[in-house]
Amino acid sequence: MEPGGLEWLLVPMQQLVAWGAAGAMVFGGVVPYIPQYRDIRRTQNAEGFSTYVCLVLLVANILRILFWFGRRFESPLLWQSIIMIITMLLMLKLCTEVRVSNELNVKRRSFAAADSKDEEIKAPPKRSYLDFDLNYFWHWSKFTDYVQCVLTFTGVTGYITYLWLDSFLFVETLGFLAVFTEAMLGVPQLYRNYQNRSTEGMSIKMVLMWTSGDTFKTVYFILNQAPFQFSICGLLQVFVDIAILLQVYLYSHYPQKPVSHTAHPASTKAL
């Protein structure tokens, strides 16, 4: 058989592989959160998942989408960011509903200023429209407050990007910030586990998927001689994933006394 006789078979197979790779790129990033979402919904307990993970991924993917307007990269990566943003909003919605339903003394925490409808017995001093108090930021009681915050961040960064879109230095910096922010993905969970001295309630499947996915991605960057910052940030992600896995081992084999929630208002109950 002539070598060219197999082209009718090889070309469609190559196309299928390309489509499969693109599909994996678009949806692969959200797969680790499926078991976590199901566990939270089944147990009605969101204490093992840090909502700051959602914050990190929302910021990283919003910046990546803005970076796309300055440097057009592959469309699967763009769709990956869109799907990830939707997924993180769904995670936030579930975690907020579960947390509020489990709280005995509900105190209204909002992105906007408190008003006469505040649920607290003694209303706190009036705040400005945006509440930048670190004790309340990202600890709100309604999903709509998170949406307002995300829209505000998108509007401000989008406007700045529009003004500086012609600046090569700005665009490159924006791309670096997007990659570096994503590299910080596991840090909130790492800190949460350290605060609680426990990994109870956290989906180990999610961490294993993080580690395998980040390792594959980093090896891909190195083998394909991707920009230097991509490889460095990828290695940083892998190191954080390994640190979380070490926490799982240490806290399961050597249980420690959990930290008092009253002594640490920024611990699990506040997230």
Cα Dmax for the chain: 86
Among the listed residues 67, 84, 147, 87, the one whose alpha carbon sits nearest the alpha carbon of residue 112: 147
Query: Does residue 197 form part of some domain?
Result: yes
Q: So what's the pLDDT on residue 154? A: 97
Residue 111 is assigned to a structural domain of this protein: no
Q: Predicted confidence band at 166 (pLDDT cuts at 50, 70, 90)?
A: very high
Residue 101: count of CB within 10 angstroms of its CB: 10
Q: How far is CA 217 from the centre of its chain?
A: 17
Asked if the structure places residue 130 within a domain, the reply is no
More confident call, 4 vs 264: 4
Distance CA 6, CA 87 (A): 42
What is the extent of the structural domain holding 32? 9-105+137-253
Share of the chain above pLDDT 70, in %: 74
132: in domain: no
pLDDT digits (tens, 9 = 90+) for 46-89: 887 888 889 989 999 999 899 889 888 777 778 888 999 999 99
What is the count of structural domains for the chain? 1
User: In the predicted model, what is the mean pLDDT of residues 197-209?
Assistant: 76
Find the DSSP H helices in 143-226: 143-163, 168-183, 187-196, 204-223
* pLDDT bucket at 21, cuts 50 / 70 / 90: low
The pLDDT assigned to 112 comes to: 63
Distances (CA, A) of 11 to 1, 22, 74, 75: 17, 17, 21, 22
Residue 146 lies in a domain: yes
As a whole number, mean pLDDT of residues 147-162 equals 96
Could you tell me the two tokens for 80? Answer: 């990956």
Is 4 domain-assigned?
no
Whether residue 186 contacts residue 240, with contact meaning beta carbons closer than 8 Å, is answered with yes
Residue-level pLDDT at 82: 95
Q: Is residue 16 part of a domain?
A: yes
Q: What is the pTM of this model?
A: 0.72
Buried b (16+ CB within 10 A) or exposed e, 33-64: beebbebbeeeeebbbbbbbbbbbbbbbbbbb
